[in-house]
Amino acid sequence: MLYAKITGWGKAIPPASISNDEISVVVDTNDEWIAARTGIRARRVSHVSTAELATIASKHAIACAGLEGHDIDLVLLATCTPSTIVANTASLVQKNIGATGAAACDVNAACSGFLYALQNATAQIQAGMIKRAVVVAAERMTWYVNWAKRDSAVLFGDGAGAVVLEASSEPSGLMATKTGCDTEDRDILHISNYGSDQDKYQPVGPSDIQFEGREIFKRAVTGMSIACDDVMQKASLSLDDIDVLIPHQANLRIIQAIQKKLAISDDKVMVNIDQYGNTSAATVAIALCEAVEQGLIKPHANIMSAAFGAGLTWAASYIRWGERTAPIKTCDYSFPPCQKSGLELINDAVQACKSAD
Ligand code: UT7
């Protein structure tokens, strides 16, 4: 039996951030409301493209695996904020990392995208089609934000995370997974004013993240808990077998509700929403990477991950870690210097959103 072992991991965290106090200058909100209702204390704003975020995270993951770009057969980029749609953004990442000749494809399942892409790449490795893949999730969610609306403006951030998968006979990597989509409710979470349904000759105003927060909240908790239960059953795992929970980071209260339903203690749950906000597909990838860096993921750890996003897509995955928790090599490729603060980076968009409001 072939497995798709995770042998490398990396992330790209943009240097510029916006604190809750700073965002209170842009919209009518305050640190107390945001922290209490969401757990978010700051979010990052990228001064580079989605492709560049993905490139940085991928290069770190490839070095961590002790590989070179040309060793990679497949680049899957999970994103709903692609730099370009045609050509796909994954093709630029493929070029940037030197994965000459590798297949390159964007995957859009919104916040569930990383787990969808992980499933896809794992299946290709297990079927013997390819040997090595980079699965990267990169988002510039702040590009979509309508800075005139406080309900969504406070929630989102930018960033990227990546893993390298390699064919292995060792039982590790994605061991069981379940993905799905409750399409009846696709309207309760969507981006308006974007896509080929728009009349491109008429001004439509800024894109806007539209959502029914309370409804999504309920469905996210129920959907992710049921999906986790299903996957644990499929893998014959009990709750005691789970060493680490890596949930999608959309709201601390959603994470705590899932944790309660699954009866998992605080010390086993990876949380970083306070620093980064909701980075859509990238939340799970970044959290996975940081869980290894922080020592939460130990050799042979059993990891449960779950995500929920627009579509309404959902996914739950059981991942078994290998022996190694330290990188084979490191890479010093990083962001170009950023001369602006987070607020300065969004300033033009804020003015445009306010005059369109
Ligand atoms: O992934 C896409 C978006 N993510 C989600 O939708 C995640 C799931 N939902 C949530 O995380 C939560 O529903 C939110 C964080 C989005 C909202 O929290 P909530 O506790 O469900 O608040 P609410 O929408 O019911 O609003 C409560 C009050 C309202 O005021 P009134 O009508 O009670 O006077 C809002 O106008 O909070 C007000 N409010 C704000 N106040 C200060 C909404 N946004 C803000 C804000 N600052 N940023």
pLDDT for the residue 138? 98
pLDDT for the residue 207? 87
Active site residue 111: yes
Which candidate in 108, 278, 289, 302 is catalytic?
A: 278
- Give residue 186 CA to ligand 1 midpoint distance, Å: 19
Angle, CA 190 vertex, CA 185 and CA 196 arms, to 5°: 115
- Give residue 267 CA to ligand 1 midpoint distance, Å: 28
- Two structure tokens written together for 50: 């989605």
pLDDT for the residue 113? 98
pLDDT for the residue 200? 87
Q: Give CA–CA dist 114/174, Å, rounded.
A: 12
Active site residue 272: no
**Nearest residue to 284 (alpha-carbon basis) of 316, 258, 242:** 316
Phi, psi of 262 (to 5 degrees): -85, -5
Give the containing element (helix H, strand E) for 121. Answer: helix 113-126
pTM: 0.97
259 lines ligand 1 (CB under 6 A): no
pLDDT for the residue 206? 86
Active site residue 251: no
Question: For residue 105, what are the CA distances in angstroms to 133, 247, 317?
Answer: 11, 25, 21
**Nearest residue to 135 (alpha-carbon basis) of 74, 89, 88:** 74
Q: Give CA–CA dist 11/116, Å, rounded.
A: 18
Q: Give CA–CA dist 111/314, Å, rounded.
A: 8
Cα 266 versus chain centre, distance: 21
Which candidate in 80, 228, 248, 353 is catalytic?
A: 248
pLDDT for the residue 257? 95
Atom of ligand 1 nearest to the CA of 220: 8
Could you list the mean pLDDT of each consecutive 10-residue stretch along the chain, which spans 357 residues?
97 98 97 98 98 98 98 98 98 98 98 98 98 98 95 96 98 97 93 91 87 94 94 94 97 96 94 98 98 98 97 97 98 96 97 89
- Two structure tokens written together for 145: 């934000």
Query: Which domains can be identified in the chain, with CATH numbers?
Result: 3-170 (3.40.47.10), 175-320 (3.40.47.10)
